[in-house]
Amino acid sequence: MRAPEHMSIIITAPVMSVIFLSIVRYNDRDDLVANAVVGTGLFGIWFVAVDVAGGVIQNERWMSTLDLVLAAPRAFALVVCGRILPVMLIGAVTLLESWLVATAGFGAHLSVRHPGIALAALIVTLLATACTATMLATFFVISRDTTIYQNALSYPFYILGGVVFPLSVLPDWIQPVGRVVFLSWSADLLRDSLSGDEVHDVVPRLGAVAGLGAVALLLGIVLIRKAADRARRTGMVSLA
């Protein structure tokens, strides 16, 4: 892999799983084990996406090729999305790691009761994540220090996306905002796929994830083009 730093989540994800699962066990809330497992997995997926999106911009700047890439006829947003997608598999591995920590390390009895739904939700989530991270790359184009935005754009999505805890526990006034974040739909679907109950409205919920991802990609194409024009005018395209 050209950027080994993207692999860091493989090391940190099991540690996060231990932390979340320890909290669950300490409070005798075995019913929340699925939340901890799904939360860690989605945390890893989103972390990798934002990290790669910022890394693409930063690497192009370091190699002094960002000007050329932005001037190319192909939409730069599609280039960014194409680079993010393959690395999404690393983020997906964190779901498996979290499940192994829960079952082998904590003795949790956790099984995927609806594997088809889980697989569909995971695939659509990976695609939507790449598309949404592409939209956020707009901030990286107009900033010389991508690290600031990488950190700032991570945690609001973890909270509004109901990654660690369901969106329903948040205040009523903020729940509609959370529903605009595709991760909230993904988290609910993945948690439901681990339960023995019947999962309702699967197709509309998958459609919500896919639709929000598609909207984010379209916005990314438009916004990155505008950000690139602004960066050229202000001389912020390259580090020089």
pLDDT digits (tens, 9 = 90+) for 81-112: 888 888 888 888 999 999 999 999 999 888 88
Residue 240 lies in a domain: no
- pTM as predicted: 0.87
Q: What is the DSSP string of the chain?
A: ---GGGGHHHHHHHHHHHHHHHHHHHTT-GGGHHHHHHHHHHHHHHHHHHHHHHHHHHHHHHTT-HHHHHHSSS-HHHHHHHHHHHHHHHHHHHHHHHHHIIIIIS------S-HHHHHHHHHHHHHHHHHHHHHHHHHHHS-S-HHHHHHHTTHHHHHHTTSSS-GGGS-GGGHHHHTTSHHHHHHHHHHHHHSSSPPPSHHHHHHHHHHHHHHHHHHHHHHHHHHHHHHHHHT-SS--
Containing domain of residue 91, as a range? 4-234
Q: Is residue 187 part of a domain?
A: yes
pLDDT, one tens digit per residue, over 169-190 is 888 998 999 999 999 999 999 9
Domains in the chain: how many in total? 1
* Mean pLDDT score, 185-213: 94
pLDDT tens sequence across 9-52: 888 889 999 999 999 988 898 888 989 999 999 999 998 888 88
In a domain, 109, yes or no: yes
